Amino acid sequence: MNVDKPTKGKGSGKRRGKYTPASIEQTKKALLLKAVGLSTQEAALRNGIKPGTLRSRQKKHQETGSYEGRKRGRKKDEITKEIHEFFCRYVDIFPTASHEEIYKAFTDKFSDQNVSTTALKSYVQSNFRITLRSTKSLCNKNTGTNSMQVDRENYLHELYSAGINARNSVFVGETAYLINSTRTYSDSKSQNHRIAKAQAKNKVLKRREKKEVEMEVEMTFFIAFTKEKIIHQTFKVCEGVTNGDDVQKFVSYLLDQINNENIREWNIIFDDVSSDIKKLITDLVEPKGHRVFFLNDCNETVQHPADMLFDNAKLQTKRHPVNKQNPLKDAIWERLNSTIANTDPSDLKSYILSSLMCVCEDCL
């Protein structure tokens, strides 16, 4: 005798393997039954939900006040902004670090974070194929001892006495980035596989040491800003370091721009530079009725606000591989230039205050 097998059409019952989560209404009714004295199992079954589900919903309600169930599936590893910036700094500083070295540094820094090695490897591979190393071409680091090389508090007091304040100051900064646009990351797993394969054939594997890849591209940025806005910014790529002609062109344009502002006398503040560049800048600025200052010893005493801006922009700029359909438009210098141009005015003010604010008892 032939017996027709039951069909599983719409409305004919639950399909095998299909999970229907308990509704909020079911959970509330079950918890009410528990409140009047029924057991967890009986209260759950009367409302068509599993006892374990009811227990977890009750626990969540006690902790958060919500009757919603947890999202199903594996919890994704969370990469916070702090972790992202840590990776960004680490791979820039250590150009030959392997995945294992990066993960060890990560666990040493974030011992309370639970991110798997697989998730970390995937994240680093996807987000840090381009690395940047910062340097300065104008900064004069061989100034030796001078009369203003004192502790931070006294140095800031001297700047205040000279009339420097955030209201009428323009901060001019320069930096250069060396780019590695094809960063790769070694993995000890594949290396161990090669070692085991060689040993099986009674061969000695020649160990290959990863050498630091020479940065093939250099880009330089120049910026001038007040506590309210960026006045002027430029960059160049593959044209050498910043030189006197670049400085003269930039400062001349800057002076034209600030002459249109309401303030008649500006303080224009640079990092310490060589004597010939100092003379060039001073000869351009002072005849226009403005004053020029050079901060002491390139960040030894006071960090220039522009350096804070450049450092933060480097962390915010995306480092994924370029779009091959339009590589020049998506180049790292275009991304970085856009990040700098879109700096929030509140961040500009924060950089200036962080640089020039004295926290001694007299100032506070």
More confident residue, 115 or 137: 115
pLDDT for residue 26 is more than 90: no
pLDDT digits (tens, 9 = 90+) for 50-105: 888 888 888 887 877 777 776 665 556 678 889 999 999 999 998 888 888 888 99
Q: How confident is the model at residue 297 (pLDDT cuts 50, 70, 90)?
A: low
* Per-residue pLDDT at 145: 43
Name which residue leads in pLDDT, 338 or 356.
338
* Window from 57-61, 145-149, 355-359 with minimum mean pLDDT: 145-149
Instruction: Take residue 27 and report the two structure tokens written for it.
Output: 């959970």
In this predicted structure, the answer to whether residue 146 has a pLDDT above a threshold of 50 is: no
Q: What was the pLDDT predicted at 1? A: 44
Q: What is the pLDDT of residue 243?
A: 86
User: At 149, is the pLDDT very low, low, confident or very high (cuts 50, 70, 90)?
Assistant: very low
What mean pLDDT is predicted for residues 266-295? 90
Binned at pLDDT 50, 70 and 90, residue 348 comes out as very high
Residue 147, pLDDT > 60, answer no
- Could you tell me the residue ranges of all domains in the chain? 24-64, 74-128+183-207, 134-181+216-356
pLDDT at residue number 88: 92
How long is the chain?
364
pTM to 2 decimals?
A: 0.70
Identify the weakest region by mean pLDDT among 52-66, 93-107, 251-265, 305-319: 52-66
For the ranges 34-48, 101-115, 138-152, 226-240, which has the lowest average pLDDT?
138-152
- Taking a C-beta distance cutoff of 8 angstroms, is the pair 43, 53 a contact? no
Tell me if 107 sits within 8 A of 83, measured CB to CB. Answer: no
Q: What was the pLDDT predicted at 317?
A: 92
Asked whether the predicted pLDDT for residue 240 surpasses 60, the reply is yes
Q: What is the pLDDT of residue 78?
A: 77
Q: Please identify, in words, the CATH class of the domain defined by 134-181+216-356.
A: alpha beta
